[in-house]
A and B are shown apart, each in its own frame.
Chain A
Amino acid sequence: MTTGFGHDVEEIEISDEDVTQRPPESPQSSGRRSVELGLLVLAVVALVAGVVSWQRAGDHDEAAVARAALRDTVLITARSHIETMNTLDHDDVDGGLERWQDVTTGTLKDQIAATDAETRQLMADQQMVSTGKVVDAAVLDLTASTATVIASVEVTVRNDADPSAVPSVKRNRFAADLVKVGDRWLLEGLDQVAVEIK
């Protein structure tokens, strides 16, 4: 009985409410409606702005990320090119010089290409096998199409004419200038960083 009574009361309450809402909209309630709709529109605008802001925030440092990626690409390429340029086997002088030409451009490439038969023969006769390894390297300057990289290079020279000799190991300081040709970074200059102190 008690449950039924409670149920009744509730139903009465709802119908009461329905009665108060049902009458045709008075000017007052339609005013409230439009205020509510206005607020809803504002809320939607705020949400859209928030979501757009969120999406654009992800690449707030897009340019810096791209530059960092370029720096890393240039460094990897330079290390590999510098090693190539410090590597030559007397058994394959032509192949070695071809690889040098492949990683260079401009006058440096022209100079390598101009290596005459006599010099090539001399290189072959020396019986030396040089192997370059970049110990450490860093990018000094970087633009979209040019770069300067410095590198500490360990060059091991083995003398095949004297198999008992211990290979000589030298550390050299190099500065490499690179330019972007098409989609490849190539060496335009490769120089040892000489001691300049008096």
Chain B
Amino acid sequence: MTALTTVVRRHGVLVLAALLVAAAAVAFWQADVARGRDNVGNHAVVGVAATTEVQSAVSSALVRVFSYDYADPAPTQQAADDLLAGRAREQYDLLFAALEEKAPGQQLVLTAQVQVAAVKELTARSATLLVFLDQASQRATDQESAVSAAQLSVRATRTGDTWKVTGIEPL
């Protein structure tokens, strides 16, 4: 007879209770794991506050980045520095360089306005949106003005507390 069987014979009830408590602990732990699990995946529209937050962050970023005044290009450049990252930043730099070249000669003013922005995919860290953006361009030199209606697939990434636009794809 080993010491273990002796313990079991003497304190069988206590041993059983200890096993049950251990099983209960496992169950509570598993419950906690299950509660922490995200069964939704895509939180677009589902998480109302988070959806609204990324909608307005991306909308205001696009408005700032796509509005431009030849007389004062600094705010646009600043907005690009603050609000764009990754591929969107690279693409924008090319676009902006071209703009800088011809804008002063044409006295170009661009005004952007987001008609509607809907969130397609949303996680804690990234989002994809469909954005309808209007842009009006005015050339002071010949009083020429034009409006364009854009459809953009926009990717955004959250770093810390702020959303940055990382991809802008015209559809």
Contacts and interface: CB of A to CB of B under 8 A. Distances in A.
Interface in B25-84: 25-28, 30-32, 34-35, 38-47
B28 A65 contact: no
Interface stretch (B93-101, B108-116, B160-168): B108-116
B34 A54 contact: yes
A57 B39 contact: no
A122 interface: no
A57 B17 contact: no
A36 B11 contact: yes
Interface in A133-147: 135-142
A152 B151 contact: yes
Contact of B136 (A53, A139, A173, A198): A198
B63 to A, nearest CB: 11
Interface in A16-30: 17, 21
A152 B45 contact: no
B147 A197 contact: yes
B46 A150 contact: no
A197 B35 contact: no
B20 A195 contact: no
> Which among A49, A142, A173 has the highest number of chain B CB atoms within 10 Å?
A173
A65 B39 contact: yes
A71 interface: yes
Contact of B31 (A50, A135, A140, A151): A50
B11 A150 contact: no
A197 B1 contact: no
B89 interface: no
B16 interface: yes
A138 B120 contact: yes
A127 B45 CA distance: 42
Nearest to B128: A138
A50 B46 contact: no
B39 A61 contact: yes
B92 interface: no
Contact of B130 (A40, A65, A152, A198): A152
Contact of A43 (B1, B21, B135, B171): B21
Contact of A39 (B17, B111, B135, B151): B17
B24 A47 contact: yes
Contacts of A54: 27-28, 30-31, 34
26 contacts: A36-B11, A36-B17, A40-B13, A47-B23, A50-B25, A50-B26, A50-B31, A54-B28, A57-B35, A60-B34, A65-B39, A68-B40, A68-B43, A71-B45, A71-B46, A135-B151, A137-B120, A138-B130, A152-B130, A173-B132, A173-B149, A175-B116, A194-B149, A195-B134, A195-B147, A197-B111
Interface of A: 10, 13-14, 17, 21, 33, 36-37, 39-40, 42-44, 46-47, 49-51, 53-54, 56-61, 64-65, 67-68, 71, 135-142, 149-152, 171, 173, 175, 193-198
